[in-house]
Amino acid sequence: MRLNQLLLRNFRSYADCEVEFTDRVNLIVGENAQGKTTLLEAIYFLSTAKSHRTYPDNELIRHHESWFYLKGKIAATDDLMTVEASNELSGKKRFKFNGIIQKKLSQWIGQFNVVFFSPESLTLVKGSPADRRRFIDLLISQINSAYLNSLQNYQFALKQRNELLKQIRSKQASPDFLDPWDDILTAEGISIIRTRVRIFDQLKTYVQAKHAELTGNREILELKYQPSPEKIDGAMEQEATELFRRGLQSSRSYDILRGMTSVGPHRDDFKLILEAQEAKAFGSQGQQRTIALALKLGELELIRETTGKTPIVLLDDVFSELDEERSSFLFSLLGRLNAQTFITSTRQEAWVPELGDCRVFTVHDGQVN
């Protein structure tokens, strides 16, 4: 999969910009705050319908303007695709695939896939469980539209249940009203957890292999998924249903007191263990960055294996805080990646000629040359 051309209008610092890219490595060079990361952000938005760093989407609109528009021309095997995204200050968003409006997010996600590593990716190691859940949810949504539908149903039911818990706490509703929402949470929750665990087991193999490459086999990384409630992933259907319902019932008084649901896949997490210690607490900056990179590169291999298509790779400030040895391992791995890659840097790296088919772009004040 290759992005041949990108058009940006009123997107952050870009008033009107059109860029054509090479099939292999695209190095985007410029000083800080000139628009390098914004190019990658635009590509990511076309793939996922969201920014990797900002919410709400209105913040993506150029200052003093009322809308933005993005368009990408993509080659996938023998097919040529056009993807378009627009957003207005009013909140109206529109996505088109080959000129046809996509009415549901599930129709859009997975049209073309990207893997994005940025400084924000360190939250996969250092951040909250919500950051890691977001990673696994987006990964699965790119390869399984049914999962996204199930996730949206679950999130809707969860929101309704939490609102009802607050009403019960203030004596405005009966606890009996929770039962229908518990039914939905149980059915969708079990489906979500089972899918997550299955995909995570596949992902784990790729991540560990990439981590070994990035460290020269000198460090051992373990990944452990922690579902809520525990033990549900290995249970038979009836037993899983009973476990989930029991968890919701046993925590009901506590949930009413807090006005929040404390059991379910919205509480899942996964642990990253490096040399028998949790990387979040004990890993160095370089080690944490390497693990985040391994997660992203493992994501790439899983998507490629599952869909038969190679995602576009976006690497923002990838070499910062990696020592010379880790940078060398990463450089070697990139040479074997066989994917269209976009890399941002504040300078033209000395290794550029070694990458072969590499095109260098210079960015200054929202202009690309």
Cβ distance 356 to 17 under 8 Å? no
Helix then strand count (H, E) for the chain reads 11, 15
- CA angle in degrees (0–180, nearest 5) for 244-157-159: 110
List the structure tokens of 168: 């019960």
Strand partners, 14: 11
Instruction: Please report the DSSP string for 199-247 in residue order.
Output: HHHHHHHHHHHHHHHHHTT-S-EEEEEE-SSTT-TTS-HHHHHHHHHHH
**For domain 121-308, is the CATH number 1.10.3720.10?**
no
Cβ distance 72 to 78 under 8 Å? no
Could you tell me which of 53, 52, 90, 99 has the C-alpha nearest to residue 68?
90
CATH architecture of 1-113+309-369: 3-Layer(aba) Sandwich (3.40)
For residue 190, give the 3-state DSSP assignment. helix
pLDDT of residue 77: 73
Q: How far apart are the first and last CA of the chain?
A: 24
pLDDT of residue 298: 97
pLDDT of residue 356: 62
- CA angle in degrees (0–180, nearest 5) for 100-103-105: 110
Domain layout of the chain by residue ranges: 1-113+309-369, 121-308
Look up the pTM and report it. Answer: 0.92
Could you tell me which of 184, 178, 189 has the C-alpha nearest to residue 249?
178
Written as tens digits, the pLDDT of the chain (369 aa) is 899 999 999 999 999 999 999 998 899 998 988 999 999 999 999 999 999 887 789 999 999 999 999 999 999 877 899 999 999 998 899 999 999 999 888 888 888 899 999 989 999 999 999 999 999 999 999 999 899 999 999 999 999 999 999 999 999 999 999 999 999 999 999 999 999 999 999 999 999 999 999 999 999 999 999 999 988 888 888 999 999 999 999 999 999 999 999 999 999 999 999 989 999 999 999 999 999 999 999 999 999 999 999 999 999 988 877 788 888 888 788 878 889 999 998 876 655 655 667 889 999 988 999
